[in-house]
Structure 1
Amino acid sequence: MANRYSTSYRMNRIFREDRAALVVPIDHGLVWGRVPALEAPVEVMRRFLPEDITGFMVSTGIVKASEVELARAPAMSRILAIDAFWPTSTPATGTGCLVASVEDAVRMGVDCVKLLLPWNVVDEEKVNYCQRIGTVVSEASKWHIPVMVEPVFLNTPRSPEIIEKELEVARVGYDLGADIIKITFPGPDATAKLCAELDIPVVVAGGPLSGDSASTLRDVKDAIEAGAQGVVVGRKVWQRPPEEAAEVIAEMARITRTSFTRRW
């Protein structure tokens, strides 16, 4: 039986038959301002456009500033972050909000919208997020645009307990109607568990720069072999020296082709 996504135009732009998605996120300024090595995000996009990647995660401003570049690279998918949370350093008192609408996303021609699902926030903010995501899912269905949800515990060390809680929040995102779950790599076993439980694509985020390039590549390989349908890796690539970054992204691209099994 064909999966419900098998004929979806935008989902098949994000997820190709022959490889896992390899998305470079450059939307960090939306919540963190001038991130080191991402002070000029469109310049970072131009650096990686010639590489063997499948797309970018972007903000509204980046979409507007890169229309010409992306028109000349129509195979590149774009995932638009449409919400933000401030400040991420104090989630107990922070607030999230939408910064763009689904209609904005459709007008700009992107392939997917992405929302956070912070869970170490006050109950009122959890309610706001669930309502917000539910409303976006409903609106997105009218336009046939996928919704990616990212469960996250803000400004919290990723202990085994937190990783297990992230898996629980991923289920909340699934039940709210997410088409894609994005989660910071929880290890191969937890990734396999999540992919087995949910009948939607799971993509794994790289997180902040840490470790050497070999450990980053090992995590990417483990994630894809565990069933992840893509990786979203930014700081662990573009915060490295340019020559090293080019080598890492090329090896990631190879892994996305050789270690991949399509699950939907």
Structure 2
Amino acid sequence: MANRYSTNYRMNRVFREDRAALIVPIDHGLVWGRVPSLEAPVAVMRRFMSEDITGFMVSTGIVKQSEVDMAKAPALARVLAIDAFWPTSAPATGTGTLVASVEDAVRLGVDCVKLLLPWNVDDAEKVLYCNRIGSVVSEASKWHMPVMVEPVFLAAPRTPEIIEAELEVARIGYDLGADIIKITFPGPDATAKLCAELDIPVVVAGGPLSGDSASTLRDVQDAIAAGAQGVVVGRKVWQRPAEEAAHVIAEMASITRKHYSRRW
């Protein structure tokens, strides 16, 4: 399907023709500080650079400290988180803010910017988020910088009601002008529904470490078979023992090729 993304240089670095994106996020420190197994994020990046992945999700500090490493791996894309929210444990009273600009992202040479869209916040905070995302989308268009928006209900249990509500918030992100929607895996049927409704790439987040590696791989396969254009999996990989993590990444990489169909 030909559309405005087909000639966008950065979008085609994030999303390749031959496989779904397999992005390893290591930006968790922005909101959670010293996450177990990610105390040294650049060391984690170096550990996975030689694996069969397509890129990383990073923070400004990680980009600055890994410039030499990434110069040696130019095929790997980088998605820059440019906002944060505190405290994630109390979203009703929390506050979000930008921590980097689109111009910073361009200067740093990344391929995409990412913003949260928390929705279990008060109405004033919702207004601020929509204004913030709208402003970033406007500025990003001047630089042909893709914008990824992540609808989320912070610290909320993954009930059917929350999953359905996240699909509704994904539509808000789409209408705000997102180029990519990142959503915690809502199941294969809901993923297929979202991918059918939105004419932009949808990527699925892995979420916190839970279950065994087989269940993680099954979710990845289901997500991509349902139409997701990529997966963003961090804690379910780098919080596992090194040998198991390498196995999971290799299996995910195979899935991203065998079950992928490009939709944009």
Q: TM-score of the superposition, structure 1-length normalised?
A: 1.00
Number of matched pairs: 264
Q: Distance in 1 between matches of 2:114 and 2:209?
A: 22
The one-letter code of the counterpart of 2:149 is: V
Partner of 1:3: 3
Partner of 1:84: 84
Q: Distance in 2 between matches of 1:2 and 1:191?
A: 22
Q: Does 1:144 align with 2:149?
A: no
Q: Distance in 2 between matches of 1:166 and 1:93?
A: 20
Q: Does 1:123 align with 2:123?
A: yes
Q: Distance in 2 between matches of 1:2 and 1:189?
A: 25
Q: Secondary structure at the match of 1:92?
A: helix
Residue 3 of structure 1 and its aligned partner are, at CA, apart by 1.7
Kindly report which structure 2 residues correspond to 1:159-178, keeping only aligned pairs within 5 A, or say none: 159-178=159-178
Instruction: For residues 95-136 of structure 1, give each alpha carbon's deviation from its aligned partner in whole angstroms, at most 9, with x where no partner exists.
Output: 000000000000000000000000000000000000000000
Residue 4 of structure 1 and its aligned partner are, at CA, apart by 1.3
Kindly report which structure 2 residues correspond to 1:1-264, keeping only aligned pairs within 5 A, or say none: 2-264=2-264
Q: Secondary structure at the match of 2:91?
A: coil
The one-letter code of the counterpart of 1:112 is: C
Q: Distance in 2 between matches of 1:8 and 1:82?
A: 21
The one-letter code of the counterpart of 1:210 is: S
Residue 2 of structure 1 and its aligned partner are, at CA, apart by 1.7
Residue 167 of structure 1 and its aligned partner are, at CA, apart by 0.1
Q: Which runs of 5+ in 1 are unaligned?
A: none
Q: Distance in 1 between matches of 2:258 and 2:102?
A: 35
Q: Distance in 1 between matches of 2:231 and 2:3?
A: 21
Q: Secondary structure at the match of 1:7?
A: coil
Q: Distance in 2 between matches of 1:147 and 1:8?
A: 12
Q: Distance in 2 between matches of 1:179 and 1:233?
A: 20
Q: Secondary structure at the match of 1:56?
A: strand
The one-letter code of the counterpart of 1:90 is: A
Q: Secondary structure at the match of 1:151?
A: strand
Q: Which runs of 5+ in 2 are unaligned?
A: none
Runs of 4+ in 1 over 4 A off after TM superposition: none
Q: Distance in 2 between matches of 1:100 and 1:6?
A: 27
Residue 68 of structure 1 and its aligned partner are, at CA, apart by 0.3
The one-letter code of the counterpart of 1:116 is: L
Q: Distance in 2 between matches of 1:19 and 1:251?
A: 13
Q: Secondary structure at the match of 1:227?
A: coil
Instruction: For residues 29-58 of structure 1, give each alpha carbon's deviation from its aligned partner in whole angstroms, at most 9, with x where no partner exists.
Output: 000000000000000000000000000000
Q: Distance in 2 between matches of 1:232 and 1:215?
A: 15
The one-letter code of the counterpart of 2:131 is: Q
Q: Distance in 2 between matches of 1:146 and 1:159?
A: 31
CA RMSD of aligned residues (A): 0.5
Q: Distance in 1 between matches of 2:16 and 2:88?
A: 33
Q: Secondary structure at the match of 2:34?
A: coil
Q: Secondary structure at the match of 1:136?
A: helix
